[in-house]
Amino acid sequence: MAIAVGWLVRQTLNVKPWIEQRPVKNVDGEGALPLPPVKVGLGVFLAVATSLFALLVSAFFMRKMGADWTRLAVPRVLWLNTVLLLLSGVAMQWTRAAARRGQIDGVRSGLIAAGVFTFAFLAGQLWAWQQLNASGYFVATDPAAAFFYLLTALHGLHLLGGLWVWGKTTAKVWRGVEVGAVRMSVELCTVYWHYLFLVWLVLFALLLST
Amino acid sequence: MTSVTHDESAYVPPAEVEEPELYHPKTFVGKYIWSQDAKVIAVQYAITAIGIGLVALVLSGIMRLQLGFPHVFSFITPSNYLQFVTMHGMIMVIYLLTALFLGGFGNYLIPLMVGARDMVFPYVNMVSYWVYLFAVLLLVASFFVPGGPTGAGWTLYPPQAILDGTPGHNWGIILMCVSLAFFIIGFTMGGLNYVVTVLQARTRGMTMMRLPLSVWGIFMATILALLAFPALFVSAIMMTLDQALGTSFFMPALVSKGQHLNYNGGSPILFQHLFWFFGHPEVYIVALPAFGIVSDLIATHARKNIFGYRMMVWAILAIGGLSFIVWAHHMYVSGMNPYFGFFFATTTLIIAIPTALKVYNWVLTLWRGNIHLTVPMLFAIGFVFTFINGGLTGLFLGNVPVDLPLSDTMFVVAHFHMVMAVSPILVVFGAIYHWYPKVTGRMLNDTLGKFHFWFTFLGTYAIYYPMHYLGILGVPRRYYAVTGTEFIPQSAHSLNEGITIAALIVGAVQVVFLYNLIWSYFKGKPAGGNPWRATTLEWQTPQTPPKHGNFGATLPVVYRWAYDYSVPGAAEDFIPQNQPPSKKARGLEQTLDAGELGAQTRSASGAPKPVGGSS
C-alpha cells in the first residue's frame, strides 16, 4: 500500500491538467514504471498473493486464541524441505545469471537443478503430511494441524503454478531456442521462487510457533 | 482566466508504431467465442452478467410476492424463501455488479480510453472470462443439487450455514464456496490486466492525470478487489473444509438436536472479520466504477468540464484506502469491544467526507451547465439523487447506538439497496445507453429509454422509501412471514403489499430495456462515430464499432485532459483529447486573456477544426 501511495505521489497528482499544456513527451505511457508489462503483472500478482497469505496469518493468530488450541509437533523433515526450497531458489538465481550471460547450456542445467529441488521440496511436504497423519493428526483432528495442512497446501499450489511456467520454459530450452526467447521467463521464475521462499519462511516460523 | 499556451512546438508526431503483435482470429469461433479481443470479452462478460442478473431479478420478485402476500403462494416454502434471498443477494453483488463493472465496462473502456490496442495480457484476459462463466455455471448448478442452493443469507455466516436446519447445508454451501473461489481466480486474471494496462499501456501524452475519471474509478476498484477478494477466498476455503472435512476453523462446539457435533473451538467471529474485510471494500468495488462513469456522463451531457478533477481523483484514492478500515461497522451487534466499535464508527464517518466531496462536485458540474436531458444524463442525475439518499441513511447506520436497534431490520435493506444496488444499477443503465452506440454502431431508442428511466427511477423510490419506515417499526429482514406479530401494525402489511406491486412493475419494465437492446441492435438509428460529441479517445476511433486493434494504423497522441467541453474560443463545444493545439487558437486565447469579451463570437472564423470529431 505504501509503495502504491509513493508511486501515486510520483505521478504528480498535483498537476492541473486543465491548464497544463506542456509539450507531450516523446515516450509511450508517460509515468509508467520502467519495466516490461509482465514484470509489473507479476508484481501485482505478488501483492495479491501477499494479501492472501497475510490474511491466513491473521486468521491463524485469531484462531490461536481459541480454548482448544494445542501445540503441534512439526515433522522434522520440514527443516530439510526448507533447505531444498532454498537450493531451488539458488539454482534459479544461477540460471538467471547464465541467461544474462547468454549461456544456453547453463540455463538448461540451472533450470533442471531448480526443478529437481522444487519437486524434492514438494515431495518432502507430502512426506511431512504423511508423518503428521501417521502420528494421529489428520486435518480435522486439531486446529493447529488443520492450519498446517491448509498453509502448506496453499503454498504448494502456488509453487505448482510456478512449476507450470518452469515446465513451459524448460520445454522451450529443450527444443533449442535462443537464450533471448526464455530470458524473461527465467527472470520471472527467479523472482517468484524467491518470493515463495520468503513466504515459506514466514509460514514455517508460524508452524513452529504453535 | 488562466493563460493557456498553445504553440506549434507542442505538437508531437505520432510515434512510429510497429505492426502490433495482436492475435489475429481467422474463424468465427476464434473471433467471437475464444476471443482474446478485450471488446469481445467485455460483451461476453456483460451478457453473462446480465443473464444471471435476470435470474436474481426473478428471485427478488418471488421474495416480494411472499412478503407482500404471505401464505398465498404454496410454492414458496420457508426454505425456498431463504434460498431465494441468499442467491438474489450473492448474484446481484458479485456475479452481476462486480462482473459487469470490471469485466464488462473495464474490458471495454480501459484499452479504448487509455489509447491502447488491447489489454496487455490478452490470453489471460480470455481465460478470465471462461473461469467466470464456469463460476456462474457452478452457482446455477446449485439450484439442481439435492437440498438446493444454500439458504444461509448472502453473508453465509457460520455456524448456521452448515448446520442441519439451514437449507442447502450440504451441497449448496459447498458449491457456493467453490463457485466463489473460481470467481476470485477468474477475477484476479482479469484484474491483473486492468491494472497493468492502465499503468503501462497508456498512449503517448496520456498521463495519469489526463485519464478520464471512468478509468480512475475502474482502476482503483480493481486494486481494491485484488486486495480484498483474497479474504473471501480464504473464508470460502475454510468454510468448505469445515463442511466437507470436519475441521473447526469457524465452527464452535455445538449441540444440535440433542447431539454433540464433532466441532470444537472454532470462531464464527473470525469468519465475520474475514467476510467483511472483503465485504466492505466490495461496496466500493461496485461504487467506484459507478462514481467514475457517472462523472464522465455528467461532464459530457452537461457540456462542461468536471468540477474539481484533481479533487475527484484524490477522493477516489482516499475512499479506496479508507474502505479497508471500516469493515467492522457491519459487526456492531457481534458483541465487540465498545472502543473497537468507536474506532470503526469514526472511520465510517470519515469516509463520508471524500464521498460528499464527489457529490458536491457532480452537482457543481451540473450547475449552469448546458444540460442535455438525454437518457444517459437522466440516469446520471437519478444516480446522484439516489446515492445521496442511500448515503445519508449510511450515516445513521454507521453510529453504534443507532445501528443496534436498526440492525437486521428492513431499514438496513432499504439503505444498502439505495446506496449499492439502485445507485450503481442506474449508472449501469446510463453507461449502457451512453456506450451502446460505440459497441454496436446504433443508438438505443430514446422513447423506450425515457420510459425505462422514469419507471425504474420512480419505481425504486416506491419500493425503498417505505421500507425505511418498516425498518423503524422493527420489521426484521430475512423473515419468511411476520403475520400475527403483535408489534407490527396492519398498516405495515398493506405497505408491504404496495412495495410488492411496485417491485413487480419495476421488474417488468426491465423487459422494455431488454427489448430495446435487441431491437436497436438491428433497427436502431445509425450512431456515427461520436454521437454525444465527447472528448475521450474511445469516440475518436476510425471505425465504429472499433475494429480489433482499436485505432487503425497509428495510435492517437493525447494533448489535453478529458474534459475540454465548451472551451471559450473553440469552434465546437468539445475538443477531443487527441486534437493538437494550433497557432490560430493561440491568438484567440491571447485575446481572451486580455479580457476582451465577445471573443467567443469570433470563434467561427478562426478556430481550429477538431480532428476526427463527428466526421
Calculate mean pLDDT across residues B21-44. Answer: 82
Calculate how close chain A gets to B30, using CA atoms only, in Å.
24
How far apart CA A140 and CA A138 sit, in angstroms, is: 6
Calculate how close chain A gets to B200, using CA atoms only, in Å.
5
- C-alpha dist (Å) from residue B611 to B12, B556, B615: 15, 11, 9
Calculate mean pLDDT across residues B293-318. Answer: 95
C-alpha cell at A197: 521462499
Q: Which residues of A touch B260 (CB under 8 A)?
A: none
| C-beta atoms of B559 and A27 within 8 A | no
Calculate how close chain B gets to A101, using CA atoms only, in Å.
27
DSSP string, B136-192: HHHHHHTTSSTT-S--STTTT-TTGGGSTTSTTTTHHHHHHHHHHHHHHHHHHHHHH
Alpha helices in A69-103 (DSSP H): 77-101
* pLDDT higher than 50, residue B598: no
| C-beta atoms of B192 and A44 within 8 A | yes
Residue with the bigger pLDDT between B255 and A19: it is B255
| pLDDT tens-digit map of B46-95 | 999 999 999 999 999 999 999 999 989 999 999 999 999 999 999 999 99
| pLDDT tens-digit map of B98-124 | 999 999 999 999 999 999 999 999 999
How far apart CA A56 and CA A63 sit, in angstroms, is: 10
* pLDDT higher than 60, residue B26: yes
Question: Percentage of residues in chain B with pLDDT exceeding 90?
Answer: 81
Say which residue the cell 468540477 belongs to.
Answer: B307
Diameter of chain A measured on Cα atoms: 72
Backbone φ and ψ for B223, nearest 5 degrees, come out as: -60, -45
Short-list B323, B119, B361, B104, CA closest to B218: B104
- C-alpha dist (Å) from residue A100 to A94, A172, A180, A195, B105: 10, 17, 9, 20, 41
pLDDT band with cut points at 50, 70 and 90 for residue B603 = very low
C-alpha cell at B174: 459447498
Q: Which residue is closest to B271 within chain A, CA to CA?
A: A59
C-alpha cell at B435: 456506450
With 0-12 / 13-18 / 19 or more C-beta atoms within 10 angstroms meaning exposed / middle / buried, residue B246 is middle
pLDDT band with cut points at 50, 70 and 90 for residue A1 = low
Diameter of chain B measured on Cα atoms: 90
How far apart CA B249 and CA B603 sit, in angstroms, is: 71
Say which residue the cell 531444498 belongs to.
Answer: A84
Q: Which DSSP category does B255 fall into?
A: E
| 3 state SS for B446-488 | HHHHHHHHHHHHHHHHHHHHHHHHHHHHCCECCCCCCCCCCCC
Calculate how close chain A gets to B216, using CA atoms only, in Å.
12
How far apart CA B569 and CA B599 sit, in angstroms, is: 7
Q: Which residue is closest to A56 within chain B, CA to CA?
A: B234
Q: Look at residue B12 in the predicted model and tell me its pLDDT.
A: 56
Q: Which residue is closest to A68 within chain B, CA to CA?
A: B265
pLDDT band with cut points at 50, 70 and 90 for residue B27 = confident
| C-beta atoms of B202 and A23 within 8 A | no
Q: Which of B227, B295, B361, B560 to mutate to test the interface with A (most CBs of A within 10 A)?
A: B227
* B526 strand-pairing partners: B442
pLDDT band with cut points at 50, 70 and 90 for residue B3 = very low
* pLDDT higher than 80, residue A17: no
* B603 strand-pairing partners: none
Q: Look at residue B607 in the predicted model and tell me its pLDDT.
A: 39
* pLDDT higher than 80, residue B605: no
pLDDT band with cut points at 50, 70 and 90 for residue A22 = low
Q: Look at residue A18 in the predicted model and tell me its pLDDT.
A: 75
| pLDDT tens-digit map of B534-553 | 999 999 999 989 998 899 88
Short-list B167, B329, B138, B326, CA closest to B236: B138
Q: Look at residue B493 in the predicted model and tell me its pLDDT.
A: 93
Q: Which residues of A touch B199 (CB under 8 A)?
A: 29, 32-33, 40
pTM: 0.91
Q: Which DSSP category does B202 fall into?
A: P
| pLDDT tens-digit map of B384-423 | 999 999 999 999 999 999 999 999 999 999 999 999 999 9
How far apart CA B288 and CA B354 sit, in angstroms, is: 12
How far apart CA B515 and CA B517 sit, in angstroms, is: 5
**A to B CB pairs, distance under 8 Å:** 167
How far apart CA B409 and CA B472 sit, in angstroms, is: 8
Query: Which one-letter amino acid corresponds to residue B175?
Result: L
* B260 strand-pairing partners: B255
Q: Look at residue B23 in the predicted model and tell me its pLDDT.
A: 63
